[in-house]
Amino acid sequence: MGGYGDVQMLNEDGTRMDGRRPDELRKIEIEVGVVPVADGSARVQWGTNLAIAAVYGPMEAHPRKISRQDRCVLDVRYNMAPFSVTDRIRPGFNRRSREIGKVTANALESVVQLELYPRSKIRVEIEIMCAEAGTRCVGLTAASVALADAGIPMTDMVVSVASGKVNGVVILDLNKEEDNYGDADLPMGILPNSGELVFLQMDGDLSPEDFQEAWDYNMGAAKEIHEIMVAALAARYGGDD
Amino acid sequence: MGGYGDVQMLNEDGTRMDGRRPDELRKIEIEVGVVPVADGSARVQWGTNLAIAAVYGPMEAHPRKISRQDRCVLDVRYNMAPFSVTDRIRPGFNRRSREIGKVTANALESVVQLELYPRSKIRVEIEIMCAEAGTRCVGLTAASVALADAGIPMTDMVVSVASGKVNGVVILDLNKEEDNYGDADLPMGILPNSGELVFLQMDGDLSPEDFQEAWDYNMGAAKEIHEIMVAALAARYGGDD
Amino acid sequence: MGGYGDVQMLNEDGTRMDGRRPDELRKIEIEVGVVPVADGSARVQWGTNLAIAAVYGPMEAHPRKISRQDRCVLDVRYNMAPFSVTDRIRPGFNRRSREIGKVTANALESVVQLELYPRSKIRVEIEIMCAEAGTRCVGLTAASVALADAGIPMTDMVVSVASGKVNGVVILDLNKEEDNYGDADLPMGILPNSGELVFLQMDGDLSPEDFQEAWDYNMGAAKEIHEIMVAALAARYGGDD
Amino acid sequence: MSIPLVPGLLRDHLRELSERDERVDGRGRLEGRPLEVEVNPIERAEGSARVRMGDTIVYAGVKFQIMTPYSDRPDQGGLMTSAEIRPIAGRNWEPGPPSEESIELGRVVDRGIRESGCIDVNKLCILPGEKAWQVIIDLHAISDDGNLFDAFALAAIVALRNATLPAERFDVGEDERLELSCTPIMCSYHKVGGRFVYDANGEEELGGDERIHITLGDDGHVHSLQKGLRGAFTSEEFNDIMGAARARREELMQLVESLEQD
Amino acid sequence: MSIPLVPGLLRDHLRELSERDERVDGRGRLEGRPLEVEVNPIERAEGSARVRMGDTIVYAGVKFQIMTPYSDRPDQGGLMTSAEIRPIAGRNWEPGPPSEESIELGRVVDRGIRESGCIDVNKLCILPGEKAWQVIIDLHAISDDGNLFDAFALAAIVALRNATLPAERFDVGEDERLELSCTPIMCSYHKVGGRFVYDANGEEELGGDERIHITLGDDGHVHSLQKGLRGAFTSEEFNDIMGAARARREELMQLVESLEQD
Amino acid sequence: MSIPLVPGLLRDHLRELSERDERVDGRGRLEGRPLEVEVNPIERAEGSARVRMGDTIVYAGVKFQIMTPYSDRPDQGGLMTSAEIRPIAGRNWEPGPPSEESIELGRVVDRGIRESGCIDVNKLCILPGEKAWQVIIDLHAISDDGNLFDAFALAAIVALRNATLPAERFDVGEDERLELSCTPIMCSYHKVGGRFVYDANGEEELGGDERIHITLGDDGHVHSLQKGLRGAFTSEEFNDIMGAARARREELMQLVESLEQD
């Protein structure tokens, strides 16, 4: 959270600089099957964010050190392309990416039926090709669709979205400027069928009341995003949406 | 060895700036069993040096590449905490620490009865939490007590201490200022029962006569330190000291 | 290729600054068996270039990950000693060296009868001790002789040499100054018996005609270098050359 | 960190205890382990703390360095938190580059402190555009019997509250205490045997599911959250532990204030 | 990159196809796969391209940074090309430090561009001895079904031809298009079943022998060559593919010019 | 370095030889192997030496760089010694990051030179606070048949004694010889078959126990000691080899002086 400066991020009529209402999402487009050599894949365009996720496996888990007798290992990587942001990112080890990869893996492990594939590994690769704000949510959403495309059994899909606070007002799905000048960010990973959470982070400063409002915004938006995910899979597999 | 400048490190009456005689040790306190999750451990406070050592094992040696058919492998690490010195040390690869880890391992291998545990590994972890001067001796002493606490069979304990030379005078157990302005440092690892050596380094400039004096100081001090080590173990196990 | 500046690199009579004709090699000396502990080795002095190559193996290939059921693995390293050039090279990871190691390995794999040693490994170590220009050719030539010295069956030797272009004229075997001010460099790895190529790189700017001339210079020089290689082996093994 | 095999037996045992509302070491569901805090045990650090929670023991050490402010923030100093879980801390911690576990530990503790705004980075400026203080918090685990997160966060805030800016050593004025505007405190809850417990020990961590880390500031505001590990939870479960965290924060705040040195 | 086992069956099959002058996917010996090029798909990059050749998909992104010129070349900027083959690109690409394959890829594409002189490093100078532009081309593979070399080289040159120097953002003048003096294009030939084919796909790469990469400039000049992998070839074979490359370059040049944006 | 299995047979054999006061290659207990030293074999280095002791062959190369003096020592240059045992040197040396063996080698040779004070770091200063010479000694093993320590130390001191400061190339004056105030020389003793021998070869190293490295200066002063490997020794044993080292140093000193170039 940048959180400093007095830049005004809201119009007088309560709308946002990009014209959205406080509880309105950016435009989201999802396409399935975009990495021909992978077992499953998805492209998510979310505002100017662009994420591509691919799934390989299940395959034999090696080295043996990482193999588990009783279940499958999810090997999840989150990476930002060097040209995905204004100031180029050097390739290589990156603590932020490692942490996001870990919490993304934890979220997906909560829905993938790992016990079906003992001693196996499923690789989930998330590449952020263009970044605006909320890339971890965009990446987790893309990974969830790619797993479905790969036919990996899951108890539910994971829908991910963030809310935050700017100029004292709670808003849904911050864009880059809002994120830069915002006071808080609350990204969540939600199971649309059960309403349970499998991913949760938060940074910044939220009073109990603001916190509840941001939470509720995310819960509401999850349904909307879930429909787009289902439609993208249906478009590929000809199911009804 | 700093070895430059004309700073006076001795008082006119032959005592040192901290009041010690030339052949007097700093204050040493040893406590056993300070790492509850380890198989053996020791804390050594030596002047303002603070070292904590822990022992894990014997356990199966893996990866197989390091395993030995005929004996146990001692895996020794020496590390200085980032905040243990005036100018913070960056975590990570460090040639000095690697070398001290190696010579410490060589010293301990000379007393641990490695042949009793073929294909096994014993891990010895030495952390310097606060450093004054002589940390390699403090760490080796702590490791030796931790191994005893873990019940690892040894032919003898290793007692480690250094002497050096400041302003032309040979002195025992240099403190930080003496080390900074000293001309030489001779750390040794001594077996108190046999009088043999298992660790020896030296840096600086010592004439044959000064060298012998420093050697004798160390030999004498080893007895004194050994008593403190034995007392610490007895305090935990109720044996007689 | 430096390729800029108007420095004159040729004399008015068509000879080069070091007195050579355009199609004349620098002086080459080869000695076999210079690394006593290796299975085969060679030292090549080529102008002021000095390369030493050693071969170890065939030996068991491990880790198993790299082992191949049907053939031997060639593990080739190319390295420049820190003091081999005017500005010291830091030891450690180096993209240029890694690439040269790879193309050198590819060249040697084309002649070594790898199928004779399944599940095995042959190590080829090339050290550039002093560098002028053309070190990759010097190293590949040294490695080829070292493999022969080790008695590794090969379908042919690899002879390596480069031509280039300076001040608009195609010349053979550029020295350091010529390389610095040259417009192009065409190193090749040639099998003297069949005339086939197993190594080819090129950088710079060559018209189709110049390209052909450089190609032909290399082909011609390969015969000459091959004789020196054979003589060096004969000198050690007493065969006729 | 190497991954130990979790015996199904342990998970079964923890579930049975949970059904009787018991814990493996006899504690209540929201009860912490015995807690010891030592202030400034490290003479070379500018601020330090040792925290023991049951058999978990950690140190935090604060060091200061002079930095050149970033060109887009010429009047600000910096803050860095680094967690190094060295293999002394337990059988399963291995040497080598930082593991994902230690990266997450360092970053979650860092965010709790950073996002609370307790350190005013503007006050760390010495000479705009030229010199500012960088605060470095190093977290060092000695014995890991579970819940390193809370132990590190508590050690870090105690070390910061008792740290002195070494201005004389760097020749930029007189030594003075580091000022903190609030006191962020982390409380972690781990799902063990199907329900969330506070301050899980090593055995509970091994046989448990997801955990949630909550960092709260002075005024009940939330500054940082993190859900770790595999598992799903409901809004009701979250509300329950958020309430527990608010209560526990007050208790820990009293402890921290009682430790103050002058 | 992990090394997959190559079934002898595949090599046999490719050899039989070759004897009938056929290819595994029905193409002619010198025929490329269907080609799609998208210009500037990445909003944050200063120039970018997406290239699809059959099931091979790659991106190139151009970024600019301000650098201090090297002291021995005070009036020159710099150029850097980096290929990162992340594990998304295929089953055999592994995470970790750059593999030899990706190092070779980056360096061969880099040399083709650098040695053609298409970027005049003197024009990258902003203030001699103090400020110059550094051009960074990052190559990113999304799906590897063979011939990443040509896909990367094509994406790189298209991204460069459509790149804008972000002078306003760095406060050094007005934004302007990067000027290129020529258009180096790479054509790669792979020996499959005993003869060289153009634009090998993944299966052909797996069962093939050596490959040769040829980069040609506007005037028929050769700027870069690289022979990769195990295998020997004759002068005649080389002359054959060099001729094919000259013809193919003209076709690709027309495509590249047709994409120009303004 | 990979650890070869030591056959008990070898240790038994070495012990039997020792009991007859013999060595595996027929030498006396304190006798060195045939020694060859070549001065300045490397044209690009500012000073260099090649040392052959039996089948052990090493090079040392000296390079100079311009450094900015450290702020707390504005009138001093620097010295760095780096040992890189690349896999060319023998079957058991492996590629990768520096092994503990090579770190110890570099540091022990470095200390012998540094602590003798033979290089006066004050004389390396060119312009106080701004420019000073950094001396870099790179040690490079070509063939390891035991006792790299002594071979490296001898090559290093010969390379230094024959090194020229390249002042003209750096535009800071005229080239001149590096001045050394004394000549530290290392002698290493290895316990083989129960007694210490001088200049152990590879087989003796493999079947031996601890080793002791002694660096002596011109005046009989001790500058550096290091005990390596597993094993214990008595004060009497140490006095014995210290005496031997003093005698051997004189012989080696004569050799070094006889090599001087002008």
Task: Enumerate the residues of chain C whose CB falls inside 8 A of the CB of residue E212.
Answer: 200
Q: Which residue has the tokens 């130390």?
A: F153
- CB contact (8 A) between residue F91 and residue C86: no
Phi, psi of E142, deg, nearest 5: -105, -35
Nearest CA distance, A238 vs chain D (angstrom)? 31
Report pLDDT for F208: 93
Retrieve residue C237's tokens: 């093994």
In this predicted model, what pLDDT tens digit does every residue of C16-47 receive, in sequence order? 999 999 999 999 999 999 999 999 999 999 99
The answer to whether residue B129 scores a pLDDT higher than 90 is: yes
The answer to whether residue D149 scores a pLDDT higher than 60 is: yes
E167-E173-E175-E176 Cα dihedral, nearest 10 degrees: -110
What secondary structure does DSSP assign to E59-70, as a single string?
A: EEEEEEEEEPPP
Please state the separation of Cα A97 from the chain's center in Å.
13
Residue D6: pLDDT band with limits 50, 70, 90: low
Retrieve residue F234's tokens: 């008595």
Half-sphere exposure of F73 (CA within 13 A, CB side): 15
Give yes or no for a contact between B106 and F210, defined as CB atoms under 8 angstroms apart.
yes
What secondary structure does DSSP assign to chain C, as a single string?
A: ----S----B-TTS-BTTS--TT-PPPEEEEE---TTSSEEEEEEETTEEEEEEEEEEEE--SGGG-BTTBPEEEEEEEE-TTSSSSPPPSS--HHHHHHHHHHHHHHHTTB-GGGSTTEEEEEEEEEEE--S-HHHHHHHHHHHHHHHTT--BSS--EEEEEEEETTEEEES--HHHHHH-SEEEEEEE-TTT--EEEEEEEEEE-HHHHHHHHHHHHHHHHHHHHHHHHHHHHHH----
Secondary structure letter of residue D26 according to DSSP: S
Q: Indicate the residue of A99, A110, A186 with minimum beta-carbon distance to D104.
A: A99
Q: Looking at this protein, which amino acid is placed at residue B44?
A: V
- Between D262 and E205, name the one with better pLDDT: E205
Q: Report in angstroms the alpha-carbon separations of D25 from B72, D13, D195, D251, F21.
A: 35, 12, 16, 22, 65
Question: Omega before A63 cis (within 30°)?
Answer: yes
- CB contact (8 A) between residue D220 and residue A186: no
Q: Report in angstroms the alpha-carbon separations of D225 from A5, D232, F44, F96.
A: 24, 15, 59, 40
Nearest CA distance, C238 vs chain E (angstrom)? 31
Report pLDDT for D262: 53
Retrieve residue D196's tokens: 């969330």
Half-sphere exposure of F33 (CA within 13 A, CB side): 24
Give yes or no for a contact between B55 and B122, defined as CB atoms under 8 angstroms apart.
yes
Q: Give B115: exposed, middle or buried? Use CB within 10 Å, 0-12, 13-18, 19+.
A: exposed
Nearest CA distance, A148 vs chain D (angstrom)? 19
In this predicted model, what pLDDT tens digit does every residue of D186-233 receive, in sequence order? 999 999 999 999 999 999 999 999 999 999 999 889 999 999 999 999
Residue in C with minimal Cα distance to E120: C4
Q: What is the rounded average pLDDT of the residues C49-69?
A: 90
Q: Which of C103, C183, C200 to mutate to test the interface with E (most CBs of E within 10 A)?
A: C200
Length of chain A: 241
Q: How many CB atoms lie within 10 A of CB A60?
A: 10
Of F70, F52, F17, whose CA–CA distance to F192 is shortest?
F17
Residues lower than pLDDT 70 in chain E: 1-6, 261-262
pLDDT mean across residues, chain C: 93
Q: Can you point out the beta strands (E) in chain F? A: 35-39, 47-53, 56-67, 78-84, 125-127, 131-143, 164-165, 176-177, 185-192, 195-198, 211-216, 222-228
Q: Give D28: exposed, middle or buried? Use CB within 10 Å, 0-12, 13-18, 19+.
A: exposed
- Between A144 and E261, name the one with better pLDDT: A144
Residue in E with minimal Cα distance to A59: E91
The answer to whether residue A239 scores a pLDDT higher than 70 is: no
Nearest CA distance, C87 vs chain E (angstrom)? 13
The answer to whether residue B241 scores a pLDDT higher than 60 is: no
Report pLDDT for B65: 77
Binning chain B into helix, strand and coil, the percentages to the nearest 5 are 30, 30, 40
Q: What is the rounded average pLDDT of the residues C159-182?
A: 94
Secondary structure letter of residue E259 according to DSSP: T
**Which sign, positive or negative, has the C-alpha torsion C63, C64, C68, C72?**
positive
Give yes or no for a contact between D256 and D218, defined as CB atoms under 8 angstroms apart.
no
- The two most distant CA atoms of chain C are separated, in Å, by 60
Of D5, D2, D45, D74, whose CA–CA distance to D166 is shortest?
D45
Strands C197-206 and E222-228: antiparallel
Map residue E254 onto helix, strand or coil: helix
- CA E218 – CA E239 distance, rounded (Å): 19
Strands D56-67 and F56-67: unpaired
Retrieve residue B233's tokens: 């173990």
pLDDT mean across residues, chain B: 93
Of F229, C150, A96, whose CA–CA distance to B102 is shortest?
F229
Secondary structure letter of residue B89 according to DSSP: P
Report pLDDT for A2: 46
Residue in A with minimal Cα distance to D121: A4
Residues of E near A (Cβ–Cβ under 8 Å) read 41-45, 48, 55, 57, 59, 61-63, 65, 82, 84, 86-91, 95, 136, 138, 140, 142-145, 169, 202
Task: Enumerate the residues of chain B whose CB falls inside 8 A of the CB of residue D91.
Answer: 37, 56, 59
Could you tell me which residues come within 8 angstroms of residue F149 by beta carbon, excluding any fewer than 6 positions away?
Answer: F105, F108, F109, F186, F188, F211, F213
Q: Indicate the residue of B48, B82, B127 with minimum beta-carbon distance to D88.
A: B127
- CA F78 – CA A100 distance, rounded (Å): 43
- CB contact (8 A) between residue B201 and residue F225: yes
Strands F211-216 and F222-228: antiparallel
Domains assigned to chain D: 5-258 (3.30.230.70)
Retrieve residue A144's tokens: 């969830």
Residues lower than pLDDT 70 in chain F: 1-6, 261-262
Secondary structure letter of residue E12 according to DSSP: H
Map residue A37 onto helix, strand or coil: coil
CA angle in degrees (0–180, nearest 5) for E161-E166-E168: 145
CA angle in degrees (0–180, nearest 5) for B187-B191-B193: 145
Retrieve residue D249's tokens: 């924060």
- CA F208 – CA F198 distance, rounded (Å): 12
Q: What is the rounded average pLDDT of the residues C191-204?
A: 97
In this predicted model, what pLDDT tens digit does every residue of B57-98 receive, in sequence order? 999 997 777 888 889 999 999 999 999 999 999 998 899 999
- CB contact (8 A) between residue A125 and residue E86: yes
Give yes or no for a contact between A103 and A158, defined as CB atoms under 8 angstroms apart.
no
**Which sign, positive or negative, has the C-alpha torsion E229, E231, E235, E237?**
negative
Give yes or no for a contact between E107 and C95, defined as CB atoms under 8 angstroms apart.
yes
A81 touches chain E (CB under 8 A): yes
Taking the model in full, what pTM does it have? 0.94
Domains assigned to chain B: 28-236 (3.30.230.70)
What distance, in Å, lies between the first and last C-alpha atoms of chain A?
38
Interaxial angle between packed helices B135-149 and B95-109, expressed in degrees from 0 to 180 and rounded to the nearest 10: 40
In this predicted model, what pLDDT tens digit does every residue of C219-232 receive, in sequence order? 999 999 999 999 99
